[in-house]
């Protein structure tokens, strides 16, 4: 009876298992995802976008085999999955549907950390504890074992051989990342049972100014305590069909992601790629459309184009809510032939499969065409992409370039501006300006000639009949006004700084109102120039205004400069009063006030080609302002050149000290205030409100 | 001389910096930081299980055996068979036509027997099924009919488990006509309550009246109360069946062997978390700004269910009272113990961190001054025979709501929903300027075109119509922004388009207050610790929003309704208050979630009579006020332990109230979305602007990345045609049956006999002689039952 029951139970179990396994193939994609997808716009700002990849299937076991702390995954070209099942010391081979095909290396492997499968089906396993890389054939027989190279260049006894990741190129050369080996990627050729070829793609230790200063002043003992400055070892690597090696290195900032050619040269120009990489990348994979994927240990998945510029970031950390598509400890990322992404999570011991959405598929087509320079062809898929997300930066940029090729310059300018593509904008704008010039050049010349003649005629008439006498008398009267006269004097100061300074010092030209007016005009021009200048010159991002802080900064600088300079001058036998010093500092700003309108107008008409015009004007402005300031200090206080230099240095130092003092006082008071408020709060609480 | 001076300066500077370096005031900081650490620890514990108790701290680690069972440290082991409490020890206390209720007094354990089949639904762990793999605390938790967690020392943030097996208590059971009433008093902490259990036909009602709670000891309080934490449990995969959880539209957790994969299961506050209390989980942001993980769905209805398919037995539990501060838990096997269980846990009093100053360097941990006052009542609607499935649950729940006037049948005619965004704001110089996306004239033009394209009726929510744009909140009077054409034009538009059956509803968030547009307003809700609640979002223009206290929300919405009605406008779309409920402090009083819910409910009752009200994703107690349900979720929160997503809420509400989906624009896989709408009887929604959405890039709505009308006008007409056709066939019928066939086809049967077939696979399938193309749907008209 009891047996019978057991049998029934077994039968039921079997039936349930049947139902379950048959259901696996029909797993549906969930339309909603627990994570968001972001993309980066031209301002390096993240924007939410359409879901790029949808969490599809989750593989927790192959046949009846569970994984234990798996650390690497390799998806072969035929779609088979090879998993370095570290906890069980084996390689598991299965299908994306969860069928178990083979188990390899049981007994041979100790702690397999990395697995790679070549086109001919050979399986390379990096085994950390066995201190070897094994090469298996497709049936699981060991073909070769590569142990620690005995080449002295490897590093001798001090450098252990603990392989954790491996990739192999077409020639069978292995690129191996080893634990505790900071020299770089170990490159071993299969010749003669393993020949050490050298270190590949070595990272450089970064040295900043602070470290250099510290090193110079610290004792040996202190220096030894400093964090060691050895270069970071790459955390993971991948290889593409051309044999280029991709590496990710944590904490390497702009060169976190590298694309290395066979000579070990990084092909990604990291100059503009600050803050687009994860701080702890765990794995990298090469996509099918000239794109690269990076997964961070925390579960964020990034897609980059071949220039290392970000396209998407999605996914996220599972904080214990156990939602599909979030990860806890990612150790590997792979891309299948249909752009599906496989994420191996060692903590959850599972593989999460993501499928590209319609949107991503279109985008991939478009960006691929675009990267190959087939702009016009790419316009149709781009239009589709932009329909689905009109703010998608890459699509906008590509669209701008496509329109440029079609000579639709107005549209090109519009899209270039949307995507902050300055080169594209400049090219298209040049064309537009060119067309405008062609059409209007005759009219423009005629207007100039007409104005010139009119000017001459008026001048002649004035000489003969004095038609401008009335106006002249009026202006003369206005000039008598003290304020106006002081304002005009600033122009004199600008042109004749020595005489001008004398006037401020001795002839009562120092005042409060005239310099203040110039300061206000300066502020207004500064703000207008900053926010409304031409697109190519703009340094601040569209739609963001910080006018209060701009004006505040200018005020603080002027007031601080005047005050500190006054303090230093009084103890250095200078003749300047606060009013005089304020006057010459404000008057010194006049070149900016006079010339900025020129650069402002220029900024709206020049392209990158004529950029030097604006740069020239700006250099003139800055040089002039600085010279006026220095001469003002010298002449008004009646200093010699040497004294002037000393006073300027002292003023700079005083400003520094004052800033520090204010900071310290602020910190102290904040602490005291907080202490008192905490006591008050506690007392009130103890007394029961 | 100068040199001398600056030497002095350096000396002074050095002296100052030395003083600053001395940690003179750090004593206080370090003394309080201990508190903070304790708070952090306890916070982590909170997220765990309810059965926290003495000596249980180190039991976190558990092992998983090969057969999928989990084993705890210090497991009690199996009881000797001679000591088992069995059916013989139970006595019959109530009987109805279908069921017999047995009671074992000492633990208040009950069993429900189906009189026809003899199958039994157990409420507590029986000795026979006890695997002996849990520790003492868990074992007694599972064997007790009621479990109370007590706060004894708020500062430690620990709660202590009190149950009827392991805690010293007195118990006084009185039999009633159809059940019993049990008075429980726990001696150690001097707490007590009375639990009334009655069998009313095929409904089991468990009630703990508010006035029965006793807290005699100073500093010892009741924190949570869990009646029957194992009601209808099953061991591993011994029974076929599933648990129903109210996540998203609805989801099932199968009663199969989970092999220890899930450390926790579903655990959510009904109607969402409480912003009045600090979140114990700190959100993680990528690069300190990107919120990568979406919030999980809110629990919109206070229900959970359990079905034992092979026993043809099950229940749908409705939390009737105390739902505002209840938590629904559904734990699959492997989550601490090897039993599948779902239950409601009522929170009466919580502990919180009270900062003593603005920098939060000093804090105290306190328990709430008063507990939440409300009866606690769970009604188990028992299901047996053919009815032991989720389709029958939906029908039962619908009837329950209709019978109790918690829902009335509304006009269910089909509309496509097309929402518009009027104006938004972007930063400009010292202030902001309008970004106008859709004016009243634009709408007129678009309506005319849609009409021409065959869209015969429309529901349209106009967002950002008010003066100052979308986020100028709160809205207190009917005054349209001049950029969209002004109030009179808007009024004309609403009236004229209504004649064409195009109904425009004016959208308003009645919950939020934007301090940037309404600076001088002190009516914002404060948290339990008397700090103003701030909703922080990473946006371009407005980063912070406050919540209005419910009184003021009420005033604002009443004023607004009056102001609408003056102009003859009666269509209102209300958001914010429709699915948010929170505790708050205001003017030295503290209000709990039931108070807030009551006020919102009354407020909507008062304007419901005169206006046509549609609500954005309303929670269950506001369904009666809504003429339409906006933003009905079509999926779940994607929890790993969910085995199947089912359109449960849609099955309840189809034919009662029209439901509109989330916006189609932002869906990545549109075909699948259509299929889901067909399956659940939900109508499609679009969010459109006349101008290109790229204009919004510098506004708070920069996440609207694809809304341009010209892109979507064909899609609107096409969706309208397809879904109108299906829904015309269905008309006002209810969904009576929903089943997923093995072939991957979903069949939905309506009360008028219509059957809809939805094929989510990539191959054409034939069901009932109807061929359904891949990723497509089909329907068959039949006879009404």
pLDDT at B16: 38
Per the DSSP assignment, residues forming a β-bridge with A168 are A174
> What pLDDT score does A675 carry?
84
Q: Which of B19, B292, B672 sits opposite A35 (nearest CB)?
A: B292
Percent of chain A exceeding pLDDT 70 equals 92
Kindly report the length of chain A. 689
How far apart are the C-alpha atoms of B146 and B224, rounded to whole Å?
11
What pLDDT, in 10s, does the model give residues A199-222? Answer: 988 776 666 677 777 777 777 777
Angstroms from B698 CA to nearest CA on chain A:
6
The mean per-residue pLDDT over the stretch A16-44 comes to: 57
Residue B726 buriedness (CB in 10 A; 0-12 / 13-18 / 19+)? middle
Partner-chain residue, chosen from A36, A41, A678, that has the shortest CB–CB distance to B362:
A678
The pLDDT value recorded for residue A225 is 67
For residues A443-455, give the mean pLDDT. Answer: 94
Distances in Å between the alpha carbon of B313 and those of B121, B122, B341, B396, B666?
Answer: 7, 11, 15, 14, 41
Distance, in Å, from the CA atom of B603 to the CA atom of B576, rounded to the nearest integer, reads 13
Output A297 or A22, whichever has higher pLDDT. Answer: A297
Pair B661, B684: CB distance under 8 Å: yes
Tell me which DSSP letter residue B483 carries: G
**Cα A244 to Cα B516: distance, rounded to the nearest angstrom:** 53
Mutate to test the interface with B, among A5, A10, A27, A34 (most CBs of B within 10 A): A34
Q: Which two tokens stand for residue A124?
A: 């390379």
Question: Terminus-to-terminus CA distance in chain A, angstroms?
Answer: 73
Contact B426 A543 (CB under 8 A): yes
Do residue A650 and residue B364 have CB atoms under 8 angstroms apart?
A: no
DSSP B375-426: -EEEEEEEEEGGG-SHHHHHHHHHHHHHHTTS---------EEEEEE-EEEE
Please give the pLDDT value at position B3: 43
Q: How many percent of chain B have pLDDT more than 70?
A: 91
Among A29-43, A476-490, A505-519, B436-450, name the most confident range: B436-450
pLDDT at residue A246 is higher than 90: yes
The answer to whether A681 and B33 have CB atoms below 8 angstroms apart is no
Can you tell me the distance from the alpha carbon of B438 to that of B453, in angstroms, rounded to the nearest whole number?
A: 20
3-state secondary structure of B641: coil
Are B122 and B164 a contacting pair, CB within 8 Å? Answer: no
Rounded CA-CA distance B669/A302 in Å is 21
Predicted confidence band at B38 (pLDDT cuts at 50, 70, 90)?
Answer: very low
**ipTM of the complex in this document:** 0.84
> Does the beta-carbon distance from B356 to A30 stay under 8 Å?
no
Q: Which of B356, B361, B705 sits opposite A390 (nearest CB)?
A: B705
Contact between A605 and A436 (Cβ < 8 Å)? no
- In the numeric block, which tokens belong to residue B267? 């655990």
Closest by alpha carbon to B366, among B283, B277, B281, B282?
B277
Separation in Å, CA B538 to CA A544, B356, B427, B513, B544: 15, 28, 15, 17, 9
Mean pLDDT over residues B576-597, rounded?
A: 93
Q: Has residue B118 got a pLDDT over 80? A: yes
Average pLDDT over residues B276-296: 80
**Chain A: residue nearest B255 by CA?**
A16
* Residue B57's pLDDT band (cuts 50, 70, 90): very low
| pLDDT value at residue A57 | 86
Task: Tell me the mean pLDDT in the region B385-398.
Answer: 96
Residues B126-159 have pLDDT tens digits of 999 999 999 999 999 999 999 999 998 888 878 8
Q: In chain B, which residue's Cα lies nearest the Cα of A568?
A: B2
Chain B residues lying within 8 Å of A357, measured CB to CB = 668-669
Task: Choose among A33, A324, A678: nearest Cβ to B356.
Answer: A678
pLDDT in tens, A88-116: 999 999 999 999 999 999 999 999 999 99
**Listed residue (A337, A266, A329, A322) closest to A295, CA to CA:** A329
DSSP tag of B589: E
Residue A677, chain B, CB below 8 Å: the answer is yes
Mean pLDDT taken over chain B: 88
Residue of A nearest to B433 (CA): A543
* Residue A481 confidence (pLDDT) above 70: yes
The mean per-residue pLDDT over the stretch A611-618 comes to: 92
CB contacts of A388 in chain B (<8 Å) are 705-706
pLDDT of residue B39: 36
What does the radius of gyration of chain B's CA atoms come to, in whole angstroms? 29
pLDDT at B49: 40
Q: Which residues contact B377 (CB under 8 A, 6 or more apart)?
A: B205, B206, B207, B208, B319, B320, B321, B322
Which residues of chain A does B261 touch, with a Cβ-Cβ cutoff of 8 Å?
60
Other residues' Cβ atoms within 10 Å of the Cβ of residue B691: 17
DSSP character string of A408-474 = -HHHHHHHHHHTT-HHHHHHHHHHHHHHHHHHHHHHHHHHHHHHHHHHHHHHHHHHHH-TTHHHHHH
Minimum mean pLDDT among A42-56, B200-214, B341-355, B684-698: which range?
A: A42-56
Q: Which of A359, A654, A671 sits opposite B25 (nearest CB)?
A: A671
Q: How far is Cα B318 from Cα B397, in angstroms, rounded to an integer?
A: 8
pLDDT at position B375 is 96
| B267, closest residue in chain A (CA to CA) | A321
**pTM of the predicted model, to two decimals?**
0.84
In this structure, of A271-285, B318-332, B581-595, the range with the lowest mean pLDDT score is A271-285
Q: Is the dihedral of CA A347, A294, B669, B712 positive or negative?
A: positive
Q: Which of residues 19-78 of A touch B (CB under 8 A)?
A: 19-20, 22-23, 26, 28-36, 38, 41, 46-52, 54-55, 58, 60
C-alpha distance across the termini of chain B, in Å: 108
Across the interface, which of A319, A322, A545 has its CB nearest the CB of B640? A322
Distance (Å, whole) CA A161 – CA A158: 10
Q: A265-279, A558-572, B168-182 — which is least confidently predicted?
A: A265-279
Which stretches of A171-208 are DSSP H helices?
none
Q: Give the per-residue pLDDT at B35.
A: 35
Contacts of A658 in chain B (CB under 8 A): none
Specify the pLDDT at position B359.
67
Mean pLDDT of B653-673: 92
Per residue in B419-440, is it b (16+ CB within 10 Å) or e — as a string? Answer: bbbbbbbbbeeeebebbbbbbb
B710-742 pLDDT per residue, tens: 999 999 999 999 999 999 999 899 999 999 998
Count of alpha carbons within 13 angstroms of residue A365, beta-carbon side: 16
Does A678 have pLDDT greater than 50? yes
Instruction: Spell out which residues of chain B touch residue A60, defining contact as CB-CB under 8 Å.
Output: 261
- Structure token digits, residue B151: 């706060």
Do β-strands A281-286 and A291-296 pair in parallel, antiparallel, or remain unpaired?
Answer: antiparallel
What is the arithmetic mean of pLDDT over B36-42?
36
H/E stretch holding B506: strand B502-509
Q: What's the token pair of residue B631?
A: 């933003």
Closest Cα partner for B159 from B43, B247, B53?
B53
pLDDT tops 50 at residue B23: no
Contact at 8 Å (CB) between B464 and B509?
no
CB-CB neighbours of B84 under 10 Å: 14
> In which band, very low, low, confident or very high, does the pLDDT at A16 lie, cut at 50, 70 and 90?
very low
Q: Is B735 helix (H, G, I), strand (E, B) or coil?
A: strand
Query: Which of A542, A545, A660 lies nearest to residue B13, judging by beta carbons?
Result: A660
Q: Are strands B571-575 and B612-616 parallel, antiparallel or unpaired?
A: parallel
**Whole-number mean pLDDT of chain A?**
87
Distance CA A41, CA A480 (A): 56
Instruction: Write out the H or E segment, with its range, that includes residue B758.
Output: strand B755-759
Chain B residues closer than 8 Å to A650 by CB: 2, 6
Highest mean pLDDT among A180-184, A231-235, A340-344, A393-397: A340-344
Count how many residues are written for chain B. 785
- pLDDT tens for residues B334-374? 999 999 999 999 999 999 988 877 766 678 888 999 999 99
Please name the residues in contact with A578: beta carbons below 8 A apart, sequence gap of 6 or more. Answer: A562, A563, A566
- Nearest CA to B584 out of B530, B503, B662, B536 is that of B530
Please provide the DSSP assignment of A6-48 as one string: HHHHHHHHHHHHHHHHHHHTTPPPPSS-SB-EEEE-TTS-EEE
Quick one: angle between helices A393-405 and A422-465, nearest 10?
Answer: 60
């Amino acid at each position: 009876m009891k047996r019978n029951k057991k049998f029934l139970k077994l039968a039921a179990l079997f039936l349930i298992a049947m139902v379950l396994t048959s259901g696996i193939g029909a797993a549906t994609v969930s339309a909603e995802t627990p994570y968001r997808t972001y993309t980066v716009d031209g301002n390096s700002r993240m924007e939410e976008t359409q879901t790029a990849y949808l969490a599809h299937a989750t593989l927790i076991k192959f046949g009846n085999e569970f994984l234990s702390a798996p650390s690497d995954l390799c998806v072969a070209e035929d779609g088979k999955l090879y998993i370095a099942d570290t906890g069980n010391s084996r390689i598991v081979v299965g299908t994306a549907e969860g069928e178990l095909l083979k188990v390899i290396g049981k007994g041979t492997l100790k702690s397999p950390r990395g697995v790679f499968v070549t086109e001919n089906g050979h399986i390379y396993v990096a085994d950390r504890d066995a201190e070897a890389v094994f090469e298996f054939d497709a049936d699981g027989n060991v073909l070769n074992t590569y142990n620690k190279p005995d080449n002295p260049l490897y590093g001798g006894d001090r450098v252990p051989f603990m392989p954790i990741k491996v990739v192999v190129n077409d020639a069978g050369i292995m690129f191996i990342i080893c634990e505790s080996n900071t020299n770089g990627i170990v490159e071993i050729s299969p010749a003669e049972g393993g020949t050490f070829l050298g270190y590949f793609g070595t990272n450089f230790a970064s040295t900043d100014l602070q470290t250099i200063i510290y090193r110079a002043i610290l004792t040996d003992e202190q220096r030894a305590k400093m964090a060691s400055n050895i270069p970071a070892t790459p955390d993971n690597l991948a290889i593409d069909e051309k044999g280029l090696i991709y590496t990710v290195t944590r904490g390497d900032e702009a060169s976190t992601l590298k694309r290395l050619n066979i000579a070990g040269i990084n092909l990604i120009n990291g100059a503009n790629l600050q803050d687009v990489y994860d701080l702890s990348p765990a794995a990298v994979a090469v996509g099918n459309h000239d794109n690269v994927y990076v997964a961070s240990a925390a579960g964020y998945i990034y897609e980059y184009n071949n220039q290392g510029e970000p396209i998407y970031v999605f996914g996220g950390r599972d904080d214990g809510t156990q939602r599909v598509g979030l990860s806890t400890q990612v150790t590997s990322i792979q891309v299948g032939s249909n752009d599906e992404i496989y994420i191996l999570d060692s903590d959850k011991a599972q593989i999460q499969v993501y499928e590209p959405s319609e949107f991503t598929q279109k985008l991939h087509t478009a960006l691929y065409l675009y990267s190959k320079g087939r702009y016009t062809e790419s316009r149709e898929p781009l239009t589709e992409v932009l329909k689905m997300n009109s703010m998608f930066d890459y699509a906008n940029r590509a669209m701008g370039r496509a329109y440029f090729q079609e000579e639709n310059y107005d549209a090109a300018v519009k899209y270039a501006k949307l995507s902050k593509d300055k080169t594209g904008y400049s090219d298209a704008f040049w064309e537009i300006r060119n067309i405008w010039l062609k059409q209007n050049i005759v009219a423009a010349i005629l207007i100039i000639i007409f104005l010139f003649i009119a000017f001459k005629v008026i001048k002649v008439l004035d000489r003969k009949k004095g038609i401008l006498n009335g106006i002249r008398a009026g202006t003369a009267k206005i000039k008598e006004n003290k304020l106006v006269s002081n304002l005009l004097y600033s122009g004199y100061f600008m042109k004749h700084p020595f005489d001008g300074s004398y006037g401020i010092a001795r002839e009562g030209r120092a005042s409060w109102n005239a310099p203040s007016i110039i300061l206000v005009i300066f502020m207004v021009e500064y703000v207008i120039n900053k926010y409304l200048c031409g697109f190519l010159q703009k340094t601040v991002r569209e739609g963001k205004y910080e006018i209060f802080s701009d004006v505040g900064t200018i005020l603080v600088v002027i007031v601080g400069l005047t005050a500190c300079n006054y303090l230093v001058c009084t103890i250095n036998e200078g003749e300047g009063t606060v009013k005089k010093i304020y006057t010459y500092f404000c008057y010194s700003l006049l070149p900016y006030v006079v010339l900025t309108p020129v650069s402002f107008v220029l900024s709206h008409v020049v392209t990158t080609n004529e950029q030097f015009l604006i740069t020239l004007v700006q250099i003139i402005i800055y040089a002039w302002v600085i010279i006026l300031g220095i001469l003002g200090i010298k002449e008004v206080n009646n200093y010699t050149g040497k004294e002037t230099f000393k006073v300027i240095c002292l003023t700079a130092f005083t400003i520094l000290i004052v800033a520090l003092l204010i900071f310290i006082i602020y910190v102290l008071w904040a602490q005291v205030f907080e202490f008192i408020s905490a006591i008050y709060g506690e007392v009130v609480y103890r007394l029961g409100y | 001389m100068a040199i001398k001076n600056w030497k002095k300066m350096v000396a002074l500077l050095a002296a100052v910096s030395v003083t600053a370096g001395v940690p003179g005031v750090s004593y206080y900081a370090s003394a309080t930081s201990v508190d903070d650490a304790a708070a952090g620890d306890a916070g982590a514990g909170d997220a765990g299980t309810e059965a926290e108790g003495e000596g249980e701290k180190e039991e976190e680690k558990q092992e998983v055996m090969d057969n999928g069972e989990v084993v705890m440290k210090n497991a009690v082991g199996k009881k000797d068979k001679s000591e088992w409490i069995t059916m013989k020890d139970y006595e019959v206390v109530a009987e109805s036509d279908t069921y017999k209720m047995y009671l074992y007094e000492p633990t208040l354990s009950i069993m429900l027997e189906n009189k026809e089949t003899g199958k039994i639904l157990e409420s507590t762990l029986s000795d026979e099924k006890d695997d002996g793999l849990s520790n003492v605390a868990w074992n007694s938790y599972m064997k007790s009919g009621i479990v109370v967690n007590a706060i004894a020392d708020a500062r430690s943030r620990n709660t202590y488990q009190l149950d009827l097996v392991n805690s010293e208590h007195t118990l006084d059971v009185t039999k009633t006509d159809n059940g019993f009433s049990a008075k429980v008093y726990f001696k150690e902490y001097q707490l007590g309550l009375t639990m009334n259990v009655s069998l009313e036909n095929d409904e089991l009602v468990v009630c703990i009246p508010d006035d029965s709670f006793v807290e005699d000891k100073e500093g010892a309080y009741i924190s949570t109360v869990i009646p029957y934490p194992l009601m209808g449990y099953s061991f591993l995969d011994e029974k076929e069946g599933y648990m129903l959880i109210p996540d998203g539209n609805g989801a099932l957790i199968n009663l199969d062997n989970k092999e220890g994969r899930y450390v926790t299961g579903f655990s959510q506050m009904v109607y969402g978390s409480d912003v009045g209390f600090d979140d114990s989980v700190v959100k993680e942001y990528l690069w300190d700004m990107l919120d990568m993980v979406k919030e999980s769905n809110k629990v919109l209805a206070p229900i959970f269910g359990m079905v034992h398919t092979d026993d043809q037995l099950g229940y749908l539990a409705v939390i009737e009272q105390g739902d505002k501060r209840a938590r629904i838990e559904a734990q699959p096997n492997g989550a601490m113990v090897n039993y599948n269980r779902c239950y409601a846990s009522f929170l009466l009093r919580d502990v919180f961190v009270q900062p003593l100053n603005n920098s939060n360097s000093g804090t105290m941990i306190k328990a709430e001054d008063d507990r939440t006052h409300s009866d606690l009542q769970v009604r188990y609607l028992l299901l047996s025979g053919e009815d032991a499935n989720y389709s029958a649950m939906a029908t039962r729940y619908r009837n329950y709501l209709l019978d109790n006037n918690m829902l009335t049948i509304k006009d269910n005619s089909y509309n496509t929903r097309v929402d518009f965004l009027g104006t938004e704001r972007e930063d400009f110089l010292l202030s902001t300027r309008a970004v106008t996306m859709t004016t009243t004239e634009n709408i007129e033009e678009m309506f005319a075109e849609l009409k021409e394209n065959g869209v015969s009726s429309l529901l349209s929510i106009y967002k950002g119509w008010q003066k100052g744009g979308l986020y100028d909140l709160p809205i207190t009077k009917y005054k349209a922004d001049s950029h969209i054409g002004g109030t009179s034009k808007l009024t004309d538009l609403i009236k004229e388009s209504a004649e064409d059956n195009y109904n425009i509803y004016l959208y308003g968030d009645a919950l939020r207050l934007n301090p940037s547009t309404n600076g001088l307003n002190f009516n914002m809700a404060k948290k339990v610790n008397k700090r103003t609640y701030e909703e922080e979002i990473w946006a371009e223009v407005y980063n912070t929003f406050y919540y209005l206290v419910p009184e003021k929300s009420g005033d604002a919405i009443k004023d607004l309704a009056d102001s609408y009605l003056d102009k003859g406008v009666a269509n209102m779309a209300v958001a914010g208050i429709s699915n948010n409920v929170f505790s708050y402090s205001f003017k030295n009083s503290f209000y709990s979630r039931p108070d807030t819910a009551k006020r919102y409910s009354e407020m909507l009752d008062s304007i419901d009579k005169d206006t046509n009200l549609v609500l954005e994703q309303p929670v269950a107690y506001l369904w009666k006020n809504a003429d339409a349900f906006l933003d009905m979720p079509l999926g779940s929160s994607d929890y790993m332990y969910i085995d199947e997503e089912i359109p449960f809420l849609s099955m309840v509400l189809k034919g009662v109230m029209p439901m509109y989906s989330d916006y189609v624009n932002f869906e990545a896989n549109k075909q699948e979305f259509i299929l889901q709408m067909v399956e659940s009887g939900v109508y499609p929604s679009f969010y459109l602007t006349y101008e290109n959405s790229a204009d919004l890039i510098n506004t708070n709505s920069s996440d609207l990345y694809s809304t341009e009308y010209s892109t979507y006008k064909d899609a609107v007409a096409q969706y309208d045609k397809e879904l109108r056709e299906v829904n015309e066939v269905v008309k006002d019928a209810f969904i009576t049956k929903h089943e997923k066939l093995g072939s991957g086809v979903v069949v939905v049967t309506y009360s008028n006999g219509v059957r809809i077939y939805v094929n989510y696979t990539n191959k054409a399938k034939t069901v009932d002689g109807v061929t359904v193309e891949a990723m497509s749907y089909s329907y068959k008209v039949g006879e009404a039952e």
